[in-house]
């Protein structure tokens, strides 16, 4: 269903001659990046800059009984060896909790471990030297004495009374618990014709950004000011946190974030080693660079998922789903991450399960426990893959039980496209979703009936292919409901400031950031379209707290929807201001004038009246020629935050077509389809590639990626040979289609698209594998779906 915008006039601002909206245009930053002129933090060299290497704990849980850095300090090039105790003089510890997540608890975490390490990989000392190599050499000579403690590794036993408590002051290993009960769940199950239960297991995995986390901190003692160059998604959040814990005013901290080589949520958190680097710069009064190497990335970049979720669904013989129930358990490492906390994913799972469906009966419990493993926190599509996999697997299992086609059961239960606005049983408010239109489009794109026929034919020849469908909802454009209400100083609003320069070009400063998803491009597209100038006249500046408006940054699929709307509104003001001056110069009225192709023109006949360059010349250099009382304002700023809905939900559906080799357990992905609805599409190519990239990350979770810990809490595959990221050779073609339901909260109408691909890919694959395995009367409910798991399910080994 393509919904016509209700407010036609408002949309005309986007639907103008030479508009870039809805068009695939090349990203303005491509030439710069392709010519090697990117400005990544690891490229930065400052005078007197030192390099820090962190000596990291080899134990999952141990008491530090002594650190001897004397030999290391004598090594060539070594500037300092700093312990947790020493660095505590300049930086305070933190506790990762939010007040709206009731009951969430965590323990104080330090920049460098003080007397105890709680996971393998936690920093115990910093070695600062003139080069990374010299610091690594010296690190081998720092002697740390440990007394090993019991490690809590299995989340299933973390709450047992016999299990030791990681932080005794907290009383137990339970970080957070949420219970939710809506409708009449017990009665609904009792009235069901069939009730199906299963337990789903999700492997712990991580983001694997191409560029590792990196930071250069430069304390300028003369100015009493700290400049932090960091690959982050949220510069103002970093500014706030750094100032808070270093005892500075925010005005004393500048955060600069230029090019970032991938984030995926990994770089939206505050890490202990980054905090230590800020502190070391202050302590040593010189620039200090920290660039995580790949092993460190695996051991310290946040991990995600790692859930065990029991699920239950009730269904009637006519296909009506009567109720969902889940009991989710997740282990988050020894600390709740700062400042966004590690309870968000489980909370999100509770929010999202059953979300696409009409039933009002839903019960959920989620428990979040501490363990001696690396910290876990928000990674792309937080909670979505868990919720979607549990929900969609349950729906397929219910369909299988009553002998109904997986598409048909969804048709009978997805919330009707004309039922909006409405709310989910977990209380989420939906403005306008399009599940049925999306499903209909998907079925057409994949030619569902033909695939089913092909599947049947091949099955007779002992070739086992499967089709998996997964509907999903996606949280985007978060308002203050995400973090602000819980007390975190993470802005949910964003701002854009525009200035017409003296030659009629536009300088645009925005508070959203660019990590490769095209923030710069979409901002320039909006500004160019709404103002009436060509994109090459729009220069976008982002990622600098000294030089952009205050705002949240780019995460949770908020850049286009929130930052884009701020750009639109700021451009409207600038346009009005320009036309006011133009009217004065041309002895016309603003209503009779427009801006098209870098010139002010007549609305009536389109005739050019004055070029913007000429207008700017007059305003800046001959204001004396303007009529009395006319003061041009060729700079405009606007901010935006969604107020009506806490989140702009989007929706979509994915399908997977794959083949299972039942002799070997190997899965070959043949094709993948996605139909999604992100509202107004600013740049189709950027949206499609967001979706494809998201799908690939979801496929990684489905088939390959897992942080493998042993029972002593050792991460055993912290390298790119043993931790399997999805690679192009195994990826199928991914066809992407769209349904467009703009949000009416903004004039732009854009919702996010960054989580959609990841949200449903694993669910579609799992359902497809189970569909393929149907003749063998077995199912798999664990990802990654390794050959070992499939062969075991088939009883072959």
Closest by alpha carbon to 311, among 198, 189, 426?
A: 198
Sheet holding 62-68, edge to edge: 116-117, 62-68, 143-148
Strands 494-500, 506-510: pairing is antiparallel
Name the residue among 751, 745, 787, 754 with its Cα closest to residue 769: 787
Q: At closest approach, how far in Å is the CB of 661 from other proteins?
A: 9
Q: How far is the CB of 289 from other proteins (least distance, A)?
A: 14
- Shortest Cβ 724–other proteins spacing (Å): 6
The structure tokens listed for 113 are 């471990």
Q: Closer to other proteins by CB, 148 or 663: give it.
A: 663
Residue 530 or 660: the one with the smaller Cβ distance to other proteins is 660
Nearer to other proteins, 309 or 773 (CB): 773
First to last CA, the chain: 48
Give the count of beta carbons closer than 10 Å to the beta carbon of residue 6: 9
Q: How much of the chain is in helix, strand and coil states, percent to nearest 5? A: 30, 25, 45
Please state whether 382 falls in left (phi above 0), alpha (psi between -120 and 50) or beta: beta
Quote the DSSP letter at residue 338.
B
CB of 787 to other proteins, least distance (A): 7
Question: Under 8 Å CB-to-CB from 577, ≥6 apart: which residues?
Answer: 632, 633, 634, 636
Alpha helices per DSSP H over 294-424: 294-300, 344-352, 384-402, 406-413
Strands 123-129 and 50-56: antiparallel
Q: Please say which residue, 218 or 273, places its beta carbon nearer to other proteins.
A: 273
Q: How far is the CB of 419 from other proteins (least distance, A)?
A: 44
Q: In 247-383, where does DSSP find H-type helix?
A: 272-284, 294-300, 344-352
- In whole angstroms, the minimum distance from the beta carbon of 761 to other proteins comes to 17
H helix or E strand, kind and range, residue 673: strand 667-677
- 121 or 478: whose CB is closer to other proteins? 121
- Ramachandran region of residue 477, left (φ > 0), alpha (ψ -120 to 50) or beta? left
Shortest distance, CB of residue 454 to other proteins, whole angstroms? 21
**Please, which residue, 597 or 714, has the CB nearer to other proteins?**
714
CA angle 80, 84, 87 (to 5 degrees): 65
Ramachandran sector of residue 589 (left: φ over 0; alpha: ψ -120 to 50; beta: rest): beta
Residue 166 CB, shortest distance to other proteins, in Å, is: 26
Q: Is the Cβ of residue 144 or residue 415 nearer to other proteins in the bound state?
A: 144
C-alpha span between 278 and 393 (Å, rounded) = 46
Q: Which residues share a beta bridge with 254?
A: 227
Q: How many CA atoms, within 13 angstroms, populate the side-chain half-sphere of residue 722?
A: 11
The least distance separating other proteins from the CB of residue 338, rounded to whole angstroms, comes to: 27
Please report how close the Cβ of residue 18 comes to other proteins at its closest, in angstroms: 43
Is the Cβ of residue 72 or residue 344 nearer to other proteins in the bound state? 72
Tokens describing residue 472: 């999903």
Least distance CB 140 / other proteins (angstroms): 8
Cβ proximity to other proteins: between 294 and 429 the closer is 294
- Strand-pair partners of 651: 473, 677
Contact assessment for residue 554 and residue 232, using Cβ atoms and an 8 Å cutoff: no
At its nearest, how many Å lie between other proteins and the CB of residue 728?
9
The residue count of the chain comes to 797
Q: Which is closer to other proteins, CB of 109 or CB of 120?
A: 120
Nearest residue (CB) to other proteins, 31 versus 140? 140
> 104-119 as b/e, with b when 16 or more CB fall inside 10 Å?
bbbbebbbbbbebbbb
- Can you tell me the distance from the alpha carbon of 571 to that of 527, in angstroms, rounded to the nearest whole number? 6
Distance CA 547, CA 378 (A): 28
Nearer to other proteins, 547 or 778 (CB): 778
The answer to whether the peptide bond before residue 339 is cis (omega within 30 degrees of 0) is yes
Residue placing its CB nearer to other proteins in the complex, 132 or 572: 132
CB of 708 to other proteins, least distance (A): 6
Residues 6 or more apart from 440 whose CB is under 8 A from it? none
Residue closer to other proteins (CB basis): 54 or 94: 54
Residue 462 beta carbon to other proteins: minimum distance, rounded to whole angstroms: 8
Spatial CA neighbour of 98 closest among 377, 383, 338, 378: 338
CB of 756 to other proteins, least distance (A): 25
By beta-carbon proximity to other proteins, the closer residue of 498 and 699 is 699
Binding site for other proteins (CB under 8 A): 132-133, 136-137, 140, 293-295, 462, 663-666, 704, 708, 716-717, 719, 721-722, 724, 726-727, 729-730, 786-788, 791, 796-797
**Two tokens, residue 331:** 């282990």
Q: What is the DSSP-derived secondary structure letter of residue 560?
A: I
């Amino acid at each position: 269903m393509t919904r016509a915008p209700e407010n036609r006039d408002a949309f005309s601002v986007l639907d103008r001659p030479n508009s870039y909206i809805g068009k695939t245009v090349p990203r303005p930053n491509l030439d710069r990046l392709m010519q090697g002129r990117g400005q990544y933090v690891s490229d930065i060299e400052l005078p007197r800059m030192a390099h820090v290497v962190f000596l990291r704990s080899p134990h999952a849980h141990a008491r530090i009984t002594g650190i001897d850095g004397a030999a290391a300090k004598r090594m060539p090039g070594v500037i300092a060896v700093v312990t947790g105790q020493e660095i505590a003089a300049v930086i305070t510890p933190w506790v990762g909790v939010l007040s709206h997540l009731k009951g969430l608890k965590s323990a104080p975490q330090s920049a460098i471990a003080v007397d105890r390490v709680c996971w393998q990989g936690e920093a115990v000392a910093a070695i600062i030297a003139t080069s990374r190599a010299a610091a690594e050499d010296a690190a081998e000579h720092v002697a740390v004495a440990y007394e090993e403690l019991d490690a809590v590794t299995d989340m299933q036993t973390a709450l047992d009374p016999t299990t030791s408590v990681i932080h005794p002051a907290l009383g137990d290993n339970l970080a957070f618990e949420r219970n939710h009960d809506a409708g009449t769940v017990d009665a609904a199950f009792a009235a069901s014709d069939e009730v199906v239960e299963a337990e789903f297991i999700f492997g712990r995995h991580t983001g694997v950004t191409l560029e590792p986390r990196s930071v250069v901190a430069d304390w300028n003692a003369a100015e009493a000011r700290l400049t932090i160059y960091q690959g982050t998604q949220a510069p103002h959040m970093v500014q706030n946190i750094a100032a808070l814990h270093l005892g500075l005013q925010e005005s004393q901290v500048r955060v600069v974030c230029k090019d970032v080589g991938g984030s995926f949520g990994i770089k939206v958190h505050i890490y202990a080693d980054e905090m230590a680097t800020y502190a070391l710069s202050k302590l040593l009064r010189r620039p200090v660079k920290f660039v995580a190497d790949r092993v460190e990335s695996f051991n310290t970049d946040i991990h995600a998922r790692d859930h065990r979720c029991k699920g239950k669904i009730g269904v009637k013989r006519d296909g009506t789903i009567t109720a969902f129930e889940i009991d989710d358990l997740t282990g988050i490492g020894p600390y709740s991450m700062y400042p966004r906390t590690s309870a968000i994913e489980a909370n999100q799972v509770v929010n999202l399960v059953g979300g696409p469906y009409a039933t009002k009966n839903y019960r959920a419990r989620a428990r979040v426990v501490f363990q001696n493993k690396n910290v876990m926190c928000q990674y792309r599509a937080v909670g979505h893959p868990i919720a979607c996999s549990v929900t969609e697997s349950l729906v397929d299992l219910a369909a299988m039980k009553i002998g109904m086609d997986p598409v048909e059961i969804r048709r009978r239960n997805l919330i009707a496209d004309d039922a909006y606005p409405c709310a989910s049983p977990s209380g989420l408010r939906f403005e306008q979703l399009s599940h049925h239109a999306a499903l209909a489009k998907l079925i057409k794109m994949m030619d569902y009936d033909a695939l089913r026929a092909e599947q049947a034919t091949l099955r007779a020849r002992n070739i086992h292919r499967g089709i998996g469908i997964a509907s999903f909802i996606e949280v985007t454009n978060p308002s203050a409901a995400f973090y602000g209400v819980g007390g975190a100083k993470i802005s949910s609003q964003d701002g854009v400031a525009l200035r017409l320069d003296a030659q009629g070009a536009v300088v645009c400063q925005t508070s959203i950031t660019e990590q490769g998803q095209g923030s710069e491009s979409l901002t320039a597209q909006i500004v160019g379209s709404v103002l009436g100038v060509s994109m090459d006249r729009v220069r976008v500046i982002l990622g600098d707290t000294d030089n952009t408006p205050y705002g949240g940054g780019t995460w949770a699929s908020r850049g286009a929807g929130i930052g884009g709307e701020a750009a639109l509104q700021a451009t409207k003001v600038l346009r009005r201001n320009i036309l006011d001056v133009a009217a004065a110069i041309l002895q016309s009225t603003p209503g009779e004038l427009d801006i098209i192709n870098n010139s002010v023109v007549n609305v009536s006949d389109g005739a050019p009246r004055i070029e913007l360059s000429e207008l700017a010349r007059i305003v800046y250099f001959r204001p004396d020629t303007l009529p009395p009382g006319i003061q041009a304002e060729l700079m405009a700023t606007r901010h935006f935050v969604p107020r009506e809905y806490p989140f702009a939900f989007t929706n979509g559906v994915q399908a997977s077509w794959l083949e299972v080799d039942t002799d070997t357990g190997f899965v070959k992905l043949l094709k993948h389809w996605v139909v999604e609805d992100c509202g107004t599409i600013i740049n189709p190519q950027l949206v499609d590639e967001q979706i494809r990239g998201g799908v690939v990350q979801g496929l990684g979770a489905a088939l390959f990626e897992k942080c493998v810990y042993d029972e002593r809490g050792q991460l055993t595959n912290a390298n790119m040979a043993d931790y399997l990221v999805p690679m192009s050779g195994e990826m199928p073609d991914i066809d992407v289609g769209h349904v467009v339901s703009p949000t009416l909260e903004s004039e732009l109408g854009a919702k996010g698209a960054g989580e959609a691909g990841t949200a449903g890919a694993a669910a579609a694959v799992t359902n497809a594998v189970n569909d393929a395995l149907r003749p063998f009367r077995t199912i798999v409910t664990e990802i990654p779906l390794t050959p070992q798991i499939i062969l075991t399910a088939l009883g072959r080994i």
